[in-house]
Amino acid sequence: MKLNKLAAIISTGISCAYLTQCTSVHQMATFGTKTIDNEAALQDTKPPTNGVYTYPITRIHQDSTDYFLSGEYGRSADHVRSEGEFGDSSAYPRPDDGVSRYFGEKIVDKFRWLENVDDMNKDYTQETDEDRDRNLIGSLLEDDVKDGLFDNRTRKDLQTVKPKQSSEVNDWVNAQNEVTNQYFDANPIYEQVKNNINALMSYRYSYRKENKDGVGSLELYRHEDGYIRLELTDTDGNKRTLFNERELSEDGNTVLPWPDIYVSDKGSYVAYVTAPGNNDTDTRGRTDLHVIDIKTGKAAIEPIQNADNNSIIWLDDKSFLYIQGSQIKRHEVGSKKWVDPIEVTWGEIDGAGPTDMWYSDDETRRYLVIEAYKKAPTSFIKDTKTNKVYRIHSEKFFNDFFYHAPDYTHAPLASLVHFDDKTLDVYFISGEKNIKGDIFKMNLNNPKKREIVVAIPDEYDETLEAIYHPEAGGHFLIKYLKDGAHKLILTDTTGKIVKDLTPDIPGNADDLTSYVAEDDNKDGDKKAKDKEVADEDDQTPDESYVSFRFNAIIKPRTVYKYSPSKGEFIDVRRRDLIPFDENLYESKQILYTSKDGTKVPMNINYKKGIKLDGKNPTVLYGYGGFGATENLAFHKSKAAWLEHGGVWATAFIRGGSEYGHTWHKDGRLLNKMNVFDDFAAAADYLAQSGYADSNHLAISGASNGGLLVGASMVLHPEKFRVAIPAAGVLDMLRYNDNFHTQYWAGEYGLPYDSVAQYKLLKSYSPYHNVKAGVCYPSTLVMTSKRDDRVTPSHSYKFVAALQDKQVCANPTFLYAAEQFGHWANTYQEQKNDYSLFTSFALNEMNIKHVPDLTHRHDADFYKTDKWREEEAKEHAKQIKKLQQRIDKLNETKDK
C-alpha cells in the first residue's frame, strides 16, 4: 500500500471544492477555469507545473475577496505571546486576511487558507436537540452493550457521532496524494524496494516473556505480519492467543504504543495499555489500561482511561498501582469503588510528573522508588510505613539552575543509580557541582549531606546512567557520552577505572543491569528487573554479572554480559534477530569543522569496500533542537538504506545536547543559524571526503529535523539532490498560531519578540524563503492529517510554495498519511514510509535498478553456538516433562 487511492473522491468532489472546475487528476491533468473578479486569484488557478509534473491547482487565500491585495484587514486573534500565553490581538478580533505585519513590515501569506485543516479526531461529535433532551437523564441507560464490552460513550460526551465531512483543504490534500501515487506507480524501483523492506521487517520479535508456576508461559511478541500478539503456553504445552493487536479495533489502528505486559503475582491477570492511534491526543489523553483474566481471556475490569504505560506494579494477585497523570493510584480487580484511591499525590513529589516506579524490595514493599520529571529527570523515595517522601535532588540546585530556565534546558537533576533499603544509602547522578554530572551519595537519615563518590572524568561530555554491582567489593557500570556516542566504563566504588566495556563501534547502550546469583539481586537496584525480558535473556546463570544492551546504526540490539570476578564477557548475543548482516558494514565517528570553526561530530555508515568517488547515494540526517541528543540506535529505515548501497550520515549539530547545555544554547533563539551552518558544513565534508557529491546527497529529518531540512534546502539548494522533510515546522512566522505550540517559544522565539528575532526567523523560515527562479532539490514532504504536534498545514503550505516557484524539473510531492500521528502508527505504515523514502531518494539520484534482497537468513543464523546449545537443552527438558505427563496419564489409565 502506497497511499489510499482517492480517484473517486477526486474526480467528483474536488471539482469546485478547492479550485474552480476540473477534470479528474491524472499525471498530466488539465484544469478549466471560471471567471474570477480577483486578477491575482485568476492567475493562481492555472495548474502549477515544473515541465514534467502537473500538480493540483492551489488557490490563494480563503476569502472570495482577497483583502491582502490592498493591505492588512486583521490578524489572527489567538496568537501566542512571548510568555507562552494565548491572548487576543485586539478588543474586537477581525477575520484573518492573509497578511501579517511585524515592526512595520507587511508579509503576504497567500496560502494561509491551507491552515484550515480538518478536525484531527477520527470522528467528531455534534450535540443534536435529541441529545440535549436525552442527556438530562443520561444516554448511557438507553442501549444494551454487547457481552464482554464496556460502554465508552462517556468519551463522546453523550453526543451523536457524525462521520467526517471532507473539507476544501482535505480535498486539496487528497488530490496531492493522488499525484504522489502516480509518481510511485511509475517509479521503476518502488516495487522491488518495497519487497526488500518487507523481507527485512517481516520477522518475529519478542518483547517480553514471563513464566508463572501453575499457569505457563506468557509471551508478548510481534508476529511476522507486523501485529503484536499476547500468547499463553499452558503447563501442558497448549498455545492460546489472548489478544491480537489487529483485532483491537475495526480499522487496525488501535495499538500498544509502548509494548509491554504486567502479570499479577500468581498469574491470574495480565495488564497492558492501548491507544486508539499515535498522535499526542491518542497517546497522552486517550490511553486505556486493560486487565484480562488469563484463564478466560476476557476483560477483568473496565478499561482505565488516561493511564500511563511506563509502569504498573502488581501488589498481589488482585490489586496494582498505576500512574494516571500526576498521581499514582491503586486499583483492585473486582472493586466497586467509583474512584481509585490515590497512593502518591502530585504535591508529595514537589509537583513533578511521575514517569516510573518500583519497590526496592518486592517482598517487604516498604520503599517505593519513583522516577519523575521536573524540568529534568529526578527521583523520590516514599516510605510506605511512615508515608514520608524523600526528595533526591537538591532543591537549591533546582531553584538556582532550573526554576527560571527555559523548557528543554539540559542537565542531570537527580537520576537514581542505586538505593540500599538496609543502610538507606542513595546513589544518584546530579549536575549540582559539575553540570556534566557526577555520582553522589546521600543517606535518607541525613539528606542534606551529599558527597561525590565518582566525579566525571574530563574526557567525557556527560554522565548519562549508572548502576551499582555489589560483587567483589562493589562496582559501578557507568554510561558516559563522548562526541555523541556512548561509552561504558566499569569502575570500583571510588571511581577508579577497572575496564572499558564499550564495543568497538559508535553506538547507544541501554538497560544497564546488575545480576547477583547468590541472593537473586534483592539489593534495590531497579535496573536488575528489566521490563523488556525475552526468552534469550531468561537464562539464570550461577554466576554474577553486569549487562547492557548495545546497538548502533549498523548493529541490531545485542546483549553483553560481563563477569567482574572473571574479568571477561561471559555471553554476547543478539537481542534483535532482524535478518540484517552487520558484518557487511562499517561505521566511523569523525569531527568536522563548521562555518565558525566549531568542531562538530558526525557518524558515517557504509558498506565495506566503498569507493570514495562521490557517487554513493547518501543520506545526511539531523535534528538540532530542544536539547535532544542525536540517536545512534539501530533503525530499520537506516538499515534499508544501507542494504540498497547507500551511505547514512548523522550530524550531531548544535541545538542538541551532545556537549551539554551550552551545545543546546548555541543552537536556539538568536543562535539558531548555527544549526543550519553546521548541517551545511556536514554536507561539504561528505562531498570533500568523496562520499557523495551534490547529485548523490539527500537530506532527511523529522519534526524539528523537518525544519532543519526545509531551511537547509532553501538556504543551500545547490548542495542537495533530494530533500525529505517529515512533519516539519516550516512556517516560522506563524508556528505559534497553530495548535498548542506555545512551549516552542523558548526554542525558536516569536516574531513579535524583537526586530532581531523577527528578522532571524524570517531569514530561515522555509516557507518564506522559497524564491522564484531557483532550482530546488527533488522534494518529498511527508506529514499526517492527524499530526497534532506539528500541524500538517506547515507541510501543505510549503508544498504549495515549492510547486508555485520551482524553476527546474525536480518534483515536489506531498505524502499526507490518513491515520498517523506525529509519526507512523502501525508497523505496516512504517514499512510503507520506509519504502516511499528509499525509492524516492534513489530514483531521484537516477538509480534505476536495485538488487533483489527478498531471500534472507532465518533467525537461527544470527544465534551463537552457546545460544543454540541452551535451546537444545531447554527443548530436551520440555520433551522430558511432556513424556512424564504422558507416562503419568497412561499409568492413571491402566489403573
**Catalytic position from the list 461, 787, 788, 833:** 787
Burial grade of 564 (CB within 10 A; 0-12, 13-18, 19 or more) = buried
In this structure, are residues 799 and 781 in contact, taking their beta carbons and an 8 Å threshold? yes
Q: Which three cell numbers stand for residue 319?
A: 490489586
Identify the active-site residue in 360, 394, 657, 703. 703
Pairing verdict, β 497-500 and 485-492 = antiparallel
Contact (CB, 8 A) for 58 and 44: yes
703 part of the active site: yes
Contact 819, 253 (CB under 8 A): yes
Residue type, 675: V
Residue located via cell numbers 529535523:
705
- What cell numbers appear for 526 in the block? 531497579
Helix (H, G, I), strand (E, B) or coil at 526: helix
- The one catalytic residue in 469, 486, 768, 822 is 822
Torsion, Cα 458 462 466 472, to 10 degrees, reads -10
Q: Is the dihedral of CA 794, 795, 801, 802 positive or negative?
A: positive
**304-305 sheet: strands from edge to edge:** 262-263, 269-274, 288-293, 304-305
In this structure, the strands spanning 124-126 and 105-108 are unpaired
Task: Answer yes or no: are the C-beta atoms of 817 and 829 closer than 8 Å.
Answer: yes
Residue corresponding to grid cell 528575532:
757
Of residues 574, 533, 575, the one with CA closest to residue 209: 533
How is residue 640 written as a grid cell? Answer: 534499508
Do β-strands 288-293 and 415-420 pair in parallel, antiparallel, or remain unpaired? unpaired
Nearest-angstrom CA–CA distance, 183 and 177? 10
Distance CA 328, CA 261 (A): 18
Strands 618-621 and 697-702, sheet pairing: parallel
Backbone angles phi, psi at 92, to 5 degrees: -130, 90
Contact status, residue 456 vs residue 495, Cβ threshold 8 Å? no
Q: How many residues does the chain have?
A: 895
3-state secondary structure of 865: helix
Residue 740: active-site member: no
Question: Which residues lie across from 589 on neighbouring strands?
Answer: 603
Distance CA 709, CA 113 (A): 24
Residue 751 near residue 784, CB atoms below 8 Å: no
Burial of 756 (0-12, 13-18, 19+ CB in 10 A): exposed
3-state secondary structure at position 893: helix
Residue 787 among the catalytic residues: yes
- Say if residues 545 and 563 touch (Cβ distance below 8 Å): yes
Task: Using alpha carbons, select from 704, 705, 631, 629 the residue that is nearest to residue 664.
Answer: 629
Report how far residue 837's alpha carbon sits from residue 846's, in angstroms, rounded to the nearest whole number.
15
- So which residues are the catalytic ones? 703, 787, 822
